Structure 1
Amino acid sequence: MSTINTSVFLLQLICQSHMILSNKKDKMFSASLSEAIKSDLLFKHGCVATYGGKIIARGCNTYKCYSSNDNFICQQCSCHAEINVLRQIYHNHSRKKHKLNRIMKKTTLYISRYSNKGESTNSAPCVKCLEVIQRLNVRKIIFNLDDEYFEYNSKDYHTTHRTFGDMYFRK
């Protein structure tokens, strides 16, 4: 595929995923921003998970990293908002695996970031969070990049984004 064709393909893919939020989705994204504001970290991320149009879990990024034995993310200097929320869902339904799988397949994650200027800013999941999201078969992710909102089936989204914490551990 030529460079021009590749660029056109990527632009078409981005345009298909770029969206204007409906009132319902805007309300959910606002809820995730409210969670981000609660974070004590420099980069304030928030996340809400919805199932059937209702919020089933919410959280922000925190210093608490939890156990490295829980099969989520290890070797991080913080707990990412997405992982915080997915842990809540997992622990609430871990005794009934079939129910957990059914819930995850219909769950949408709204991922936000609140800047020091008080604005919604880039909030796409990092590589490690995306791996967990995809492993748990979460249906959709909605996030902000460059002042635009994007919605993806989690299996269709790919990223190379690494966090500052991840880069620190890799040195």
Structure 2
Amino acid sequence: MDMSISDHKFANVASQEAHKSTMSSHHGCVAVRGGKIIARGHNNYRTYSNDGMIKGCSCHAEIDVLRKCMKMGILNKINLYIVRISSVNTFSDSTPCTECYNTMKNMFNIKYIIYSTNKGIIKKNFKDFVAVHVTSGKKAIDGKRVKVL
């Protein structure tokens, strides 16, 4: 799917958010509705939330943003821009993991998902997106190598 000038602009804002992350992988995300940014965030070390959206070793950038959307009561017609910046300041793979995908699918009406890869930015209609990536944190929890409190 072709990227518009606005898509590139919002992906750039997501990359600026990624630079704010203190984690080893720097992911940033912005939620856009009606051509305006409604929430922005990045991955962080938060491991729990009362709303049940954070249940792992960290809070992913898209969950950070979606929690902010939920607090504002905005659950539909959202475009999500997710970017990972490498240590040499280039795009890296930020394909949403299966848990983030399931949260998006079950709790929100996401219109488009725009994410970075090692080759650039990809835009997909959310209904055509399929997540297959399982994070190392989720693998560690499922394999009982770490304990969730």
- The TM-score with structure 1 as length reference comes to 0.78
CA contact (8 A) 2:48 2:54 kept: no
**Structure 1 residue 117 and structure 2 residue 98: aligned?**
no
- The TM-score with structure 2 as length reference comes to 0.89
- Which of residues 153, 158, 164 in structure 1 aligns to 2:125? 153
Residue of structure 2 equivalent to 1:79: 59
Q: Provide the alpha-carbon RMSD of the alignment.
A: 1.4
Residue of structure 1 equivalent to 2:30: 48
Amino acid at match of 1:49: A
Q: Which has the higher helix share?
A: 1
How many pairs align?
A: 142
Unaligned runs of 5+ in 1: 1-16, 94-99
What's the % identity of the aligned pairs? 39
- The CA distance in 1 between the partners of 2:85 and 2:118, in whole Å, is 13
**Structure 1 residue 91 and structure 2 residue 71: aligned?**
yes
Where has structure 1 moved over 4 Å in runs of 4 or more? none
Amino acid at match of 1:72: M
- Choose 1 or 2 for highest CA Rg: 1
Unaligned runs of 5+ in 2: 144-149
Amino acid at match of 1:52: G
- The CA distance in 2 between the partners of 1:22 and 1:155, in whole Å, is 20
Residue of structure 1 equivalent to 2:147: none
- The CA distance in 2 between the partners of 1:71 and 1:137, in whole Å, is 18
- Which of residues 17, 32, 40 in structure 2 aligns to 1:58? 40
After superposition, the C-alpha distances for 1:78-108 in whole angstroms (9 at most, x for unaligned) are 0000000000010122xxxxxx34xx2x110
